[in-house]
Structure formats: C-alpha cells, structure tokens
A and B are shown apart, each in its own frame.
Chain A
C-alpha cells in the first residue's frame, strides 16, 4: 500500500475515485434526483444522450470555442506585442485595455446580439472580444520582459523587423503564449455556454438551458462532464506536449 502511495499516477487516480465516492454518498443521503443525481444516473444519462444528439451539440460548441480561441489569441497577441514594443501605442491604448478588461462578459454578449443579431458571427465575436484583453495583457507584459540584448544581435545581422519578431521575440514569448492559451481555453468555453444560452438554438449551452426548464439535473451534469473531459483532454494531449516540445531548450 505504501509503495502504491509513492506512485504519482496512483495518487491522482485515487483522488478522482474518492471524489466519485463522495458524490455517490452525498446523493444517497440527499436522495433527490433534481438536487444531486448519483454518478451512475449521470453515466446512464450520458449513454442515453450519446445515442441522441449529444455529439452534435458538443461539436457545435467546440467549433465556436476553437474559432473564438484562435481569433482572440491572434488579435490579442498582435496588440499585446505592439503595446509591449512601442511606448506610444501603450500610452494610447492602455486606457482602452483597462476599460475592456472591466466590461462584464454578459454586457459584451448582449451588445453583440443587439448590434449584429442573433447569429453565429455575433456569438463568436462576443466571446472573442471577451478574451482579447486578457491575452493582450499577458503578451504585453511578456514583450516588456524580452531581452533587448538578443534583439540587438538580430539588428546587427541586418534582420528585418518581421524577422526579429519571428526569430527573436516569439521564441522568448513561448511561456506567455502557453499561459494565455491555458487560461484562455478555460475562460472561453465558459463564455461560449452563456452565449449559447442567451442567443443560439444549438450547442451545449442551449441544451443546458433546455434541461434547466425541465429541472433535468442529470442531463445537465451529463453534458457538463462530457464537455469538461474534452477540454481536459485538449490540455493534456495538446497544450502540455506542445509546451514541452517548445521549451525543451530550458
């Protein structure tokens, strides 16, 4: 037993197992499916929904998450790097940035739907706008921390501005990209669900709203579990290996 406790993987799995047991016991004590269904009920529900339209809605939501994620990463990084490199741009846009950071997600979502209608563009745009400021802040701080002495090496050997960004700035910014991506993925899918709940007729958020009106807690948990595990797989099988590959020189 003590040998097992020394194994990291065992400790991680044991903790998840413990959580499930705790859930099972609590649901037995409460004994009310609307408050807390048991894990077994939820798994049954996943099986049922999988035979229905679960994967279609998960797919739709995932598409929105990925589109908004890449848009926000690209625009946010570009603005952040520009602000970090150029003091004047930083002075002009710092106020905008603080404003953007403090506008509630809900307000941006409702405004986008009001301005552009209840459509796909408005939905993805709303999520993107919510995420851009945080990416910008992370990349701006990263850019300010860049080693100027290495940039000088690039200038010395007649590298163009674009080459300096590509070959000298971006490698130094990898840790900041990873950090922005990680927090971004978690934030974006939560906002996407709100967007779907408010103004779309498909996706996980839409389904959760539907189950809410029927007090179907079991199905809500079923959808949530499936989606959370997808986001976790992206972190484990995509973000972490990429991070490891890109920072192997450290």
Chain B
C-alpha cells in the first residue's frame, strides 16, 4: 500500500546572473512512491534539492508543478505530517515542555502525551528550561520529541543530526529508531552521510546533482540495530560508493 505519492513535474528557482533571468531547475519529472510505514532515506550531495523536496512534501513550498498525494489526505482533511528541521527551530520563548506541546495543544490529553515524550527523550528534568539554556544535543532531543508529538503518519527529517558530536548523533539515531518503532510512521529522512543512510534506512534513494534524478533505489534488509563494522554494512557501503559517483567521507 502506498502512503505517499510524490509527483513533481517541474520545480525551479529563478536565478539572476548578471541581470539575466535564468531558471535553475531543481526537479524534472520526479516520481516516487513510498510504502506506508517505511523508513526512506534520500541520500545526495549538498545542494541537490533535498530540503526543497521535504518542503514540498510538507506543504510549505507550494510553488511547483505536480502533486503530493498522501493516503491520509483522501480520507481525512487533516493531514498528519510532521517535520524535524536541520536546525531545531524551537520557540525560544517557550519552555522545553511547551515546545513539545505546541503542535498538539488543542488535543485532549496533550499534556500527558508531551510528558511521555519528554520522558522518552530523557529530559523530564529540564522540562521548565528555555531552549537557549539547553545544549545542542538536548535541543535536538526536544525537537525530535516535538516532531513525534502529533503522532504523524508521515515524518520528515532534514539532516537533523548534522553538526553535533558523533557520540550524541549516534544516541539520537538510536532514539529516533526507538520512537519510530512504536507507531511506525512513514519516515522520509534526508542526509549526505552514507553511514547514517545505511544505518537507518529500509530503502535508500540516491539523488544526483541538479537537476536531481534518482540514480539508484535500493532496499536495505539488514537487521536492527545495525553495526557499521558489520561485513554486510561495509559491503553495501562499498557498493554504493562505487555506483553513485560521489565520495563518502
């Protein structure tokens, strides 16, 4: 069963070079069908339109030709898409707890849901702190909890664990898998880190440089938790590096 059908006929940005207007084409006839409950990773070089793709799916960027159809969209007018951005984007004037509460504040039992989540990310002691007083890793935990708060059908993540300590990003990935396993939302995760992609994904789409095309669409059938030193893991990594042209770190 498909949960998310992405059909982008064309997406471009206007570009001005020396007073001449040009069009920078990001996507052209991009068709992707994503199965319900799958953990999908888009892997590609920086600037290949990964964030643009997520913004289109989220409905934040409506300026494109094509359509995004979610199964939920047909049944229910309230789409349940959640999004964890590249930076935590917490509201600095709300406490950690109230940030998690934000997407669900009109629902019943919202306080209970938010409290359960802050406990799961291990920050219940910090619930009354403002985000600026928390470390980068803690802010990301809160952002992750907020993303799960509305119990989304589709969860988008835009390189959420970038530019933080490796140890912390490892623990955050484990936390993400733990939270995902509970209600299994469809996840669309974007990264340019191949290790991260193989560790997390059920299915990886490899994107090319602009205009972005799918170079390779591969299912990953490793058991979780995955160990980067595992033979199969290393084999996959070599395979992908050789077939997809871009260097891994």
Of the listed stretches B12-20, B78-86, B116-124, B204-212, name the one at the interface; the rest are far from the partner chain. Answer: B78-86
Of A150, A156, A157, A250, the contact of B132 (CB 8 Å cutoff): A250
Of B59, B78, B89, B92, the contact of A153 (CB 8 Å cutoff): B89
Of A150, A155, A167, A174, the contact of B89 (CB 8 Å cutoff): A150
Of B81, B102, B130, the contact of A249 (CB 8 Å cutoff): B130
A149 lies within 8 A of B60 (CB) = no
Considering the chains assembled together, what is the distance between the CA atoms of A11 and B72 in angstroms?
67
Please give, as numbers and ranges, the residues of chain B lying within 8 Å of A157 by CB-CB distance.
Answer: 82, 102-103, 150
Q: Does B58 contact A (CB under 8 A)?
A: yes
B83 lies within 8 A of A171 (CB) = no
Considering the chains assembled together, what is the distance between the CA atoms of A174 and B92 in angstroms?
13
Q: Does B93 contact A (CB under 8 A)?
A: yes
B91 lies within 8 A of A150 (CB) = yes
A152 lies within 8 A of B102 (CB) = no
Q: A147's closest neighbor in chain B, by CB? A: B89
- Least Cβ–Cβ distance between B243 and chain A, in angstroms: 35
Of A149, A174, A249, the contact of B85 (CB 8 Å cutoff): A149
A168 lies within 8 A of B91 (CB) = yes
With contact pairs A168-B91, A171-B93, A250-B132 given, residues A156 and B102 touching in the complex (Cβ less than 8 Å)? no
Interface readout for A156-187 with B: 1 if CB under 8 Å, 0 if not? 11100000000110011010000000000000
Interface readout for B63-98 with A: 1 if CB under 8 Å, 0 if not? 000000000000000100111010101011110000
A156 lies within 8 A of B93 (CB) = no
Considering the chains assembled together, what is the distance between the CA atoms of A149 and B58 in angstroms?
13
A156 lies within 8 A of B91 (CB) = no
A156 lies within 8 A of B92 (CB) = no
B82 lies within 8 A of A156 (CB) = yes
Please give, as numbers and ranges, the residues of chain B lying within 8 Å of A150 by CB-CB distance.
Answer: 89, 91
Q: A247's closest neighbor in chain B, by CB? A: B93
Considering the chains assembled together, what is the distance between the CA atoms of A153 and B81 in angstroms?
11
Q: Which of A152, A157, A167, A250 has the most CB of B within 10 A?
A: A157
Q: B131's closest neighbor in chain A, by CB? A: A249
B130 lies within 8 A of A156 (CB) = no
Please give, as numbers and ranges, the residues of chain A lying within 8 Å of B87 by CB-CB distance.
Answer: 149
Please give, as numbers and ranges, the residues of chain A lying within 8 Å of B94 by CB-CB distance.
Answer: 249
Please give, as numbers and ranges, the residues of chain B lying within 8 Å of A155 by CB-CB distance.
Answer: 59-60
With contact pairs A249-B93, A250-B132 given, residues A156 and B83 touching in the complex (Cβ less than 8 Å)? yes
Considering the chains assembled together, what is the distance between the CA atoms of A189 and B58 in angstroms?
50
A171 lies within 8 A of B103 (CB) = no
- Least Cβ–Cβ distance between B52 and chain A, in angstroms: 13
Please give, as numbers and ranges, the residues of chain A lying within 8 Å of B81 by CB-CB distance.
Answer: 156
- Least Cβ–Cβ distance between B157 and chain A, in angstroms: 13
Please give, as numbers and ranges, the residues of chain A lying within 8 Å of B85 by CB-CB distance.
Answer: 149, 153
- Least Cβ–Cβ distance between A39 and chain B, in angstroms: 45
Known: A149-B85, A172-B93, A249-B93. 16 other contacts (CB 8 A): A149-B89, A150-B91, A152-B89, A153-B91, A153-B102, A156-B59, A156-B60, A156-B81, A156-B82, A156-B103, A157-B82, A158-B78, A168-B91, A249-B130, A249-B132, A250-B132
Residues of A at the B interface (CB closer than 8 Å) are: 149-150, 152-153, 155-158, 167-168, 171-172, 174, 248-250
Residues of B at the A interface (CB closer than 8 Å) are: 58-60, 78, 81-83, 85, 87, 89, 91-94, 102-103, 130, 132, 150
What are 29 A-B residue pairs whose CB atoms fall within 8 Å in the complex? Answer: A149-B87, A149-B89, A150-B89, A152-B89, A153-B85, A153-B89, A153-B102, A155-B59, A155-B60, A156-B59, A156-B60, A156-B81, A156-B82, A156-B83, A156-B103, A157-B102, A157-B103, A157-B150, A158-B78, A167-B102, A172-B93, A174-B93, A248-B130, A249-B92, A249-B93, A249-B94, A249-B132, A250-B92, A250-B132
Please name the 7 residue pairs, one residue from A and one from B, whose CB atoms are nearest each other, closest first: A157-B103, A249-B130, A171-B93, A249-B93, A152-B60, A156-B83, A153-B89
